[in-house]
Amino acid sequence: MTTPATLMATYGRAPVAFVKGEGCYLIDEAGKRYLDAMAGVAVNALGHSHPGFIAAVQAQVATLTHTSNVYRIPLQEQLADELCRRSDMEQVFFCNSGAEAIEASIKLARKVGHARGLSVPTILVTEGAFHGRTLGALSATHNPKYQEGFTPLLEGFVRVPYNDLAAVRAAIAATPELCAILVEPIQGEGGVKMPAPGYVNALRELCDQHDLLLMLDEIQTGNGRTGAWFAYQHEDARPDILATAKGLGNGYPIGACLAAGPAAQVFQPGHHGSTFGGSPLACAAGLAVYKALAQEDLLGNAARLGAYLLERFRRELGATPGVREIRGKGLMFGIELDKDCGELGARARERGLLINITVGNTIRLVPPLVLSQAEADFMAATVITLVQEFCHGR
């Protein structure tokens, strides 16, 4: 790991730098090609150098990059319409990152809570959650490593184990000031953890029964990643607030907080804002992503290749001693081992593959949604060999 002195050492960086991207491949300074199964941590949905994306962003740069939210921004209105159509939500606030989308979501939930007469509107969050690094998002996140040294965190959160409905019911009974439940439909940073089928639907029902807002963090799972526009659509439990980012801009920084039902029509002028959020350039990027997702059937591709790869990983690795569990939905996989496997990142790079290790012992694969069958096969074969060698101590 190498960090130059003039950069704050916030990241443990691998000793490789890329100079070019082509489709699902990144090319380093020495000209070596790597299949990018990390996609900038689930960001480059269209891969690298996607022609439609380039054309849209180049044309917009040459026309109008930034005006201000003091004025109407027609491209922002178009992208809001498109997002609402695809997510079944009703309103959008645009920002520039995932953490900002969570901040907007927390503020929105608190506003609704205060309007209902709560003095400390409280949000139920889960163990293993990752919602970002700004102070509000960090308070909702559950990782002592990220939180240590940054107290005091925000008050107004209660935490229960993920995928535990009994714990949610108990917390609802014990928390009179509760106003919302915030979860990831699949915990990405937390290890690609999947709740039992029906979990999000059951949370929806509990929210309806107790007059709570259901807030979903679809920053990683949204925008086609799991084979649906949004992961909640596998169950169809529409949230009241939905945060997304990552794949929405394919590398151009953009985030969005979406609202429906009791959370729509709540924010009024002055309640929230962003200088850069929803600029013409950002929205041209988002619109290009959504156009490609639809026209190239990338959700279908994610679903098809996702099912194929999950079956193959389970068939070829399921019985390998040391492999604890293999999880996946669309093009989002977690291969959990029984020991830390951080060294596999470097070993994969030697073989021309970029992977990510999360929570120490889980290989996370989130390749571009434009992945081809041949690329999927290369990714699968390489990962399977790496895991087998690692588990057999070679």
Ligand X SMILES: Cc1ncc(COP(=O)(O)O)c(C=O)c1O
Among residues 245, 309, 337, 383, the one that binds ligand X under rule CB under 6 A: 245
Per-residue HEC secondary structure of 246-269 comes to HHHCCCCCCEEEEECHHHCCCCCC
> Closest approach of Cβ 340 to ligand X, in Å?
20
DSSP assignment of 112-146, as one string?
HHHHTT-SS-EEEEETT----SSHHHHHHS--HHH
| Cα(250)–Cα(281) distance, integer angstroms | 13
Contact status: 313 vs ligand X (CB under 6 A): no
Stretch near ligand X under the rule CB under 6 A, chosen from 93-101, 118-126, 201-209, 307-315? 93-101
Contact status: 162 vs ligand X (CB under 6 A): no
Among residues 23, 40, 98, 224, the one that binds ligand X under rule CB under 6 A: 98
Query: Distance of CA 232 to CAs 31, 172, 210, 273, Å?
Result: 40, 22, 20, 27
Catalytic residue from among 53, 130, 333, 378: 130
Catalytic residue from among 230, 246, 267, 378: 246
Residue 230 annotated among the catalytic residues of the structure? no
Binding map of ligand X across residues 130-159, x = CB under 6 A, - = no contact: xxx---------------------------
Residue 338 annotated among the catalytic residues of the structure? no
CB-CB contact of 384 with 316 (8 Å): yes
Residues paired with 215 in a beta bridge: 182, 241
Of residues 130, 309, 284, the one with CA closest to residue 226: 309
Using CB atoms, what's the residue nearest to ligand X?
A: 98
CB-CB contact of 277 with 104 (8 Å): no
Stretch near ligand X under the rule CB under 6 A, chosen from 80-88, 96-104, 120-128, 263-271? 96-104
Q: Which is nearer to ligand X, 219 or 288 (CB)?
A: 219
Q: Which is nearer to ligand X, 23 or 98 (CB)?
A: 98
User: For residue 163, how many C-alpha atoms fall within 13 Å in the half-sphere facing its CB?
Assistant: 11
Contact status: 331 vs ligand X (CB under 6 A): no
Contact status: 378 vs ligand X (CB under 6 A): no
Stretch near ligand X under the rule CB under 6 A, chosen from 95-103, 118-126, 286-294, 364-372? 95-103
Q: Which is nearer to ligand X, 107 or 314 (CB)?
A: 107
CB-CB contact of 124 with 106 (8 Å): no
Q: What is the CB neighbour count within 10 angstroms for residue 149?
A: 6
| Cα(334)–Cα(256) distance, integer angstroms | 26
| Cα(48)–Cα(250) distance, integer angstroms | 9
Stretch near ligand X under the rule CB under 6 A, chosen from 57-65, 124-132, 142-150, 368-376? 124-132
CB-CB contact of 304 with 331 (8 Å): no
Contact status: 222 vs ligand X (CB under 6 A): no
Q: Which is nearer to ligand X, 231 or 386 (CB)?
A: 231
Residue 20 annotated among the catalytic residues of the structure? no
Catalytic annotation, residues: 130, 217, 246
Binding residues for ligand X, per CB under 6 A?
41, 97-99, 102, 130-132, 184, 188-189, 217, 219-220, 245
